[in-house]
Amino acid sequence: MDKFYIITNSLKDEGLTLTDSIEHYLTKHHKQCSVQQAGRQLSGPYHYTNPELIPEGTDCIIVLGGDGTLLQAARDVVHRGIPLLGINLGNLGFLAEVDRQSVYPALDQLMMDDYEVEERMMLRGSVYRGGELQGMDMALNDIVICREGPLRVVRFKNYVNDEYLNSYNADGIIVSTPTGSTGYSLSCGGPIVSPSASMTIMTPIAPHTMNTRSIIFPAEDVITVELGEGRRQDQEQGLASFDGDTVIPMVTGDRIVIQKAEVSTRIVKLNHLSFVEVLRQKMRNN
C-alpha cells in the first residue's frame, strides 16, 4: 500500500497527537497520506465523513477512534470500496483490531502488503407509511426498531419475504448482521456469529413471553417489521435506528423493509488470528 487516508475522532485522540504521528510515520516512508476529522455533517447525504474528499487511488483508510467511529465511517465511505483499518482508542473493540501499542507494526504490515481484506455484509432499511417511502439508510451492525416515549409494551408484527412470521409484545426488535452479533444483539441474548458469515439475525428486546428466542435467516431473505398498537389500542410513536446513530421516526402502521445491502464494507485484517481466537481474547479482556 502506498496511498493512505486517515479519518480521526478528535474526541478520542486529543490534540490529534497520534494522528499526526501516524501521518508523519507514513510520509517519512515515502507514502502519501492526508487526514479528515470525523464530525457530524450538518447537511448533505453523509453522516460524519465526506467521502468526496478522499483522493482517487487511495489504498487504505485508517480510522482512529473505536468501533463507533469505524461504524460511522464505514456507512459514509462504503461506496468507495476502499478497505478500512480501525485503530482502537476506546475500550472493547471487535471491529478496530489495532490498539495504540501496535500501531507502527501494523503500519509496517500495510506498507509491506502483509494483510487480508474481509468483506462484511451490510443491511439496508427502508421505512414506509402506506406506500410512501419515509426514509432509508444502511447499517453495518444492526437496525433497531423500538418504541419512543413512555416505557410501555408495543406489538411488533414480523414478516419474511412478505409472509407473516409472528408478533412480539416487546420493547423493540434488533435485526443485525454477523458483524453486529457481538453488539446490542448479544446484550439481548442473541447468538455470536462469525463476521465472515452471511445471514440476518432477528432478536427481540425484552419480549413479554417466556419462549422467545433469536431467529436466523439467510442473507437473501427480506424482513419486514410493522409497528403495531400499544396495549390501549392507541397510536404508538417509534424509531428505526441505524447502527445506534441516525434514526427514522415511525408511527403505528409504518413498516420497515430490511434486506441485504448491495454493497459491503471491506475491513483490513492484520493479525491472521481465527475468529475463535479473537473472540476468546475479547471475552477474556472484557
Give residue limits of the domains in the chain: 3-115+270-285, 122-262
The pLDDT assigned to 232 comes to 64
Lowest mean pLDDT among 29-38, 180-189, 221-230, 274-283: 274-283
Query: Which of 3.40.1160.10, 3.40.50.12240, 3.60.15.10, 3.40.50.10330 is the CATH number of 3-115+270-285?
Result: 3.40.50.10330
Q: How confident is the model over 83-99, as a mean pLDDT?
A: 84
Contact 189, 209 (CB under 8 A): no
- Alpha-carbon distance of 103 to 121, in angstroms, equals 26
Distance between CA atoms of residues 42 and 249, nearest Å: 19
Tell me, what DSSP letter sits at residue 191?
P
CB–CB of 67/90 below 8 Å? yes
Number of residues in the chain: 286
Among 67, 76, 142, 243, the one annotated catalytic? 67
Which residues on neighbouring strands pair with residue 262, listed in sequence order? none
Task: Report the distance separating Cα 80 and Cα 198, nearest Å.
Answer: 21
What is the strand order of the sheet 237-242 is part of? 215-218, 199-205, 172-176, 142-147, 237-242, 246-251
Contact 240, 256 (CB under 8 A): yes
- The predicted pLDDT at position 90 comes to 74
Q: Is 67 a catalytic residue?
A: yes
Torsion of CA 262, 263, 264, 268, to 10 degrees: 160
Q: Does 154 have pLDDT greater than 90?
A: no
Mean pLDDT of 21-36: 96
Same fold, 3-115+270-285 and 122-262: no
Mean pLDDT in the chain? 90
**Residues 173-189: what's their mean pLDDT?**
93
pLDDT above 90 for 220: yes
pLDDT 10s digits, 93-142 = 678 889 888 999 999 999 999 999 999 999 999 999 998 999 999 999 99
CATH of span 122-262: 2.60.200.30
Of residues 114 and 92, the one with the higher pLDDT is 114
User: Could you tell me the pTM of the whole model?
Assistant: 0.90
Question: Is the pLDDT at 69 greater than 80, yes or no?
Answer: yes
